[in-house]
Amino acid sequence: MNSLLKCRYCGWVGGKSDFEWDHMDPKIKTESFLLDFLQGKLELICSGCNRQKSDKTSQDYTFWRWLFPRQANFGPIRAHTFMDTLLQRIHREIR
């Protein structure tokens, strides 16, 4: 029986074939996948989140998911949209 994995970002549960290795912080990755793996810089996340996360750090991606919970595409966001959304989101949290 195949063990199931759970994506720590979206909570999706699936088999290993649906998960991908991702650099938690893409900016500090080296040329060696093995070295990065051994140093704990990689984690398994679902392929959907890996697409969305792209070159963001784990911290940034977690923040984007919190800020735009229903947004499927985490592409570039204009500055004023970002600030408006952030303020609305904070307002909702503290109400």
Q: In the complex, which residues of this chain contact Zn ion (CB under 5 A)?
A: 7, 9-10, 12, 46, 49
Shortest reach from residue 12's CB to Zn ion, in Å? 5
Q: Which is nearer to Zn ion, 12 or 68 (CB)?
A: 12
Read off the amino acid at residue 65: R
CA distance 50 to 86: 23
Q: Which is nearer to Zn ion, 35 or 59 (CB)?
A: 59
Q: Which is nearer to Zn ion, 22 or 49 (CB)?
A: 49
